[in-house]
């Protein structure tokens, strides 16, 4: 009787301890699945293979990853950076990884239209996703992506973030990085791009597998026109 009474009192405690152990274990795995060691190197290292490249290689049953070259920051037309900031993340130089106001606007609009009519991802969030995660959607992946975004903002300069971004993002089917994109779509080096070409490249970033910057579609004309109108308002690396 006493043993039964004792077990009755102890078992809930053991179960709680077990549950807590599982929770701590999951938190431990979650935290250490964040690519903490690679992030501080992003200001200096060249990235030649990203998680998105690996995903595309698997999807296309490729033996090798898509070819991608690395372009130095100074050899890229600076208007490309302005164009990207103006269209993808106007508050890039002020936020700490997440533009909460823009995210709220996006959520309200998407809810009202009942579809993903507007994205709220910042440049840093897009970089985190491209570098370390796939396009597969899950709450767990989004949480890791968010934590990675905060770590990137904390440990990498804005210049480093932009530099990595233009060198690894997808600009078309099998086209990754500005060096490949400038050559494929305009037959030029990144430093030879015109302002209009920079605007067109920035215009297709949200849907690079659907739209091409060298095709004079209504989508590209409209978005690149908006970008050109905003370029004068973008100051790269403003003093605070």
Q: Mean pLDDT in runs of 10 for the chain (240 residues)?
A: 44 52 51 69 88 86 72 96 96 92 77 61 94 81 86 95 96 94 97 98 96 96 97 86
Q: So what's the pLDDT on residue 129?
A: 92
Q: So what's the pLDDT on residue 85?
A: 97
Distance CA 17, CA 153 (A): 36
Q: So what's the pLDDT on residue 166?
A: 97
Distance CA 173, CA 180 (A): 11
Q: So what's the pLDDT on residue 18?
A: 55
Q: So what's the pLDDT on residue 59?
A: 84
Q: So what's the pLDDT on residue 138?
A: 76
17 class by beta-carbon count within 10 Å (0-12 exposed, 13-18 middle, 19+ buried): exposed
The answer to whether 167 and 181 are in contact (CB under 8 A) is: no
Q: So what's the pLDDT on residue 83?
A: 98
**Which is it for the CA torsion 80, 83, 87, 88, positive or negative?**
positive
Q: So what's the pLDDT on residue 5?
A: 44
Q: So what's the pLDDT on residue 4?
A: 47
Tell me: the pLDDT tens digits for 3-60?
A: 444 335 444 544 455 555 555 545 545 555 567 678 888 998 888 888 898 888 888 8
Q: So what's the pLDDT on residue 114?
A: 63
Q: So what's the pLDDT on residue 140?
A: 77
């Amino acid at each position: 009787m006493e043993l039964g009474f004792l077990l009755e009192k102890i078992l809930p405690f053991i179960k709680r301890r077990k549950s807590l152990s599982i929770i701590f274990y999951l938190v431990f795995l979650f935290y250490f699945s964040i690519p903490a060691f690679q992030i501080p190197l992003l200001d200096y290292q060249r990235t030649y293979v990203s998680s998105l490249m690996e995903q595309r290689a698997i999807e296309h049953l490729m033996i090798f990853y898509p070819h991608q070259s690395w372009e130095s920051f100074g050899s890229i037309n600076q208007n490309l950076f302005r164009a990207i900031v103006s269209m993808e993340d106007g508050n890039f130089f002020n936020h700490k990884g997440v533009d909460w106001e823009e995210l709220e606007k996006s959520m309200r609009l998407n809810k009202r239209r009942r579809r993903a009519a507007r994205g709220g991802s910042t440049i840093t969030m897009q970089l985190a996703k491209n570098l370390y995660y796939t396009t597969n959607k899950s709450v767990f992946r989004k949480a890791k992506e968010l934590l990675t975004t905060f770590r990137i903002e904390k440990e990498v300069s804005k210049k480093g973030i932009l530099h990595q971004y233009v060198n690894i993002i997808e600009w078309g089917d099998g086209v990754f990085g500005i060096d490949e994109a400038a050559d494929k779509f305009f037959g030029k080096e990144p430093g030879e791009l015109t302002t209009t070409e920079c605007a067109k490249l920035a215009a297709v970033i949200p849907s690079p597998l659907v739209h091409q910057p060298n095709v004079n579609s209504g989508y590209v004309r409209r978005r690149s026109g908006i970008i050109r109108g905003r370029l004068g308002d973008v100051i790269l690396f403003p003093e605070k």
